[in-house]
Amino acid sequence: MIEDQLYRETLLEIYRNPTNRGEITKPDLEAKLVNPLCGDEVKLQIKLKRGEIVEKALFSGNGCAISQASAALLAESIQGKKLSSVNKLRGNDILKLIGINPSPSRIGCALLSLEVLMEALKSGSKS
């Protein structure tokens, strides 16, 4: 219970002061999605080094603390990683990253950034 409260406070702090928020002028990969259930939106932009390593990842968007903190943490976590490794991320990885188990109605908020990442990787170009 105390640990859960600490994670919630951490997520709120990330939401209030997010890292990796912004725009990349000429991203190599980009995608934007909106959660149709709640209206949260996340855009993720990625700059690659040598076409295979995430040099920089930035997000922008609007939504609840869970979706925006998840996007900030995801963007931070993929920097410096090879695309082959990033492509293996799954929902459980994101839930571990944010440190909470959201209610069924909020799971979409938590995983929106992962969906955006997978869309960017799948398209291989700006969308």
Question: What CATH number did the domain enclosing 28 receive?
Answer: 3.90.1010.10
For the segment 40-46, the average pLDDT, to the nearest whole number, is 97
Residue ranges making up the domain that contains 72:
2-123
Give tens-digit pLDDT for 2-13: 445 655 777 778
For the segment 79-83, the average pLDDT, to the nearest whole number, is 97
Q: How many domains does the chain have?
A: 1
Give tens-digit pLDDT for 26-35: 999 999 999 9
What does the alpha-carbon distance between residue 33 and residue 51 come to, in Å, rounded to a whole number?
24
pLDDT of residue 18: 76
Mean confidence (pLDDT) of the chain: 89
What does the alpha-carbon distance between residue 17 and residue 33 come to, in Å, rounded to a whole number?
22
Q: Supply the pTM of this predicted model.
A: 0.87
